[in-house]
């Protein structure tokens, strides 16, 4: 089965062709094209929806063209189109959806609408490094979402908890903005944090994560008896610390380290708690924040130490941030011919809920 995936929910115009083997339920990635707008939005310190929408219009057809050319696939062999329905920026989503509407009509192909979060979840199903055994617990952490989920089989997803305010990626982005470090905040803050860690290792000769910093930040809701998250209190705590410290500009790596560590502690704690409670046999990470090397490293270590014999999966770096392979993958695993949508009825939903 050949699937063309298309993703335009935020600031990446992406298209991918995958080959799905229904019997072995395996995915072969034939092409993966992403036109990122980061360089354009950088100077504004965040995504400007109007600009993102205009860029998608310029990029989407060349991106699709490249994806099909790289896959070396004749259009007549394509079995399915998969497109992000939501959640996301409405003006960005529309470009992907309207393009797919035109292609579905012109090529006479069925279309499956995909939830963007479902896409992130299924990024773990693209060439997994170990088998996915059920029940599984998945943490999806991106710029717009922080959700803990469980899966009892390959298709059924259940929400265990989610953020009550900011998403983890948003917490990174806002902190970077506060310190004038640039956009997107995640990779920038993590680079500064690594710098602090290196200096600390040199100074102390210890190989562990730094244990000394007098920048104490809270870990909101870490001990709450549910699986929800909250990051806005952490962000405010950082703001007050910076306001009180006249020389904060000289301690940026340390602030980034302390802030990142608070986020990582919360994410690891809640994920492991859920995995233990639901007797998970697999833990999976996904979303842009799961590109974070420190989170990947610390979570790997904590899982190994605390839960014996559990499988732990993290997608390849390129499938953590927004891409179209994950949209095509989600369509492959959830493919149901009764759920395809006629081109006339395709519709975006900016606040689409996960079902």
Residues that bind Zn ion (CB under 5 A): 142, 322
Of Zn ion, ligand KG4, none, which one sits near residue 218, judging by CB under 5 to 8 A according to partner kind? none
Contact 140/150 with Cβ under 8 angstroms? no
Q: Which of 110, 128, 135, 187 binds ligand KG4 (CB under 6 A)?
A: 187
- How far apart CA 167 and CA 141 sit, in angstroms, is 7
**Under the criterion CB under 6 A, does residue 292 sit at the interface with ligand KG4?**
yes
The DSSP bridge partners found for residue 27 are 20
Q: With respect to ligand KG4, which residue has the nearer C-beta, 19 or 115?
A: 115
Of ligand KG4, Zn ion, none, which one sits near residue 113, judging by CB under 5 to 8 A according to partner kind? none
Q: With respect to Zn ion, which residue has the nearer C-beta, 32 or 254?
A: 32
> Quick one: CA dihedral 9, 11, 17, 18, positive or negative?
negative
Of Zn ion, ligand KG4, none, which one sits near residue 292, judging by CB under 5 to 8 A according to partner kind? ligand KG4
Contact 4/17 with Cβ under 8 angstroms? yes
Q: Which of 52, 284, 321, 328 binds ligand KG4 (CB under 6 A)?
A: 321
Min dist CB 287 to Zn ion, Å, is: 6
Site for ligand KG4 in 25-44 (CB under 6 A): none
SS3 readout for 299-337: HHHHHHHHCCCCEEECCCHHHCCCCCHHHHHHHHHCCCH
**Under the criterion CB under 6 A, does residue 190 sit at the interface with ligand KG4?**
yes
Q: At what angle do helices 185-204 and 252-277 cross, to 10 degrees?
A: 100
Contacting positions for ligand KG4 (CB under 6 A): 10, 142-144, 169, 172-173, 184-187, 190, 287-289, 291-292, 321-322
């Amino acid at each position: 089965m050949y699937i063309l995936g298309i993703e335009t929910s935020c600031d990446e115009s992406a298209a991918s062709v995958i080959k799905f083997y229904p019997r072995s339920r395996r995915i072969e990635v034939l092409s993966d094209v992403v036109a990122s707008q980061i360089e354009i939005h950088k100077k504004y310190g965040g995504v400007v929806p109007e600009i993102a929408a205009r860029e998608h219009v310029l990029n989407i057809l060349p991106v699709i063209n490249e994806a099909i050319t790289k896959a070396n696939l004749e259009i007549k062999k394509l079995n399915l189109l998969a497109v992000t329905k939501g959640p996301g920026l409405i003006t960005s989503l529309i470009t992907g959806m309207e393009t797919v509407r035109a292609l579905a009509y012109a090529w006479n192909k069925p279309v499956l609408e995909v939830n963007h979060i479902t896409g992130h979840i299924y990024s773990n199903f693209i060439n997994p490094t170990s088998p996915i055994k059920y029940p599984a617990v998945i943490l999806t952490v991106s710029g717009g979402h922080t959700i803990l989920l469980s899966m009892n089989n390959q298709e059924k997803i259940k929400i265990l908890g989610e953020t009550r305010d900011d998403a983890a990626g948003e917490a990174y982005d806002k902190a970077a903005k506060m310190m004038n470090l640039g956009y997107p905040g995640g990779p920038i803050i993590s680079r500064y944090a690594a710098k602090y860690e290196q200096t600390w290792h040199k100074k102390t000769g210890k190989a562990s994560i730094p244990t000394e910093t007098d920048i104490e930040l809270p870990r909101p809701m870490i001990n709450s008896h549910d699986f929800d998250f909250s990051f806005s209190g952490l962000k405010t705590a950082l703001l007050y610390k910076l306001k009180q410290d006249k020389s904060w500009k000289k301690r940026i790596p340390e602030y980034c380290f302390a802030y990142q560590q608070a986020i990582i502690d919360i994410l690891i704690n809640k994920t492991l708690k859920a995995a233990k409670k639901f007797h998970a046999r697999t833990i999976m990470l996904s979303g842009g924040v799961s590109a974070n090397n420190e989170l990947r490293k610390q979570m790997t270590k904590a899982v190994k130490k605390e839960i014996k014999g559990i499988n732990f999966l993290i997608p390849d770096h390129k499938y953590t941030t927004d891409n179209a392979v994950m949209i095509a993958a989600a369509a492959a695993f959830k493919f149901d011919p009764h759920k395809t949508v006629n081109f006339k009825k395709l519709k975006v939903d900016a606040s689409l809920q996960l079902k």
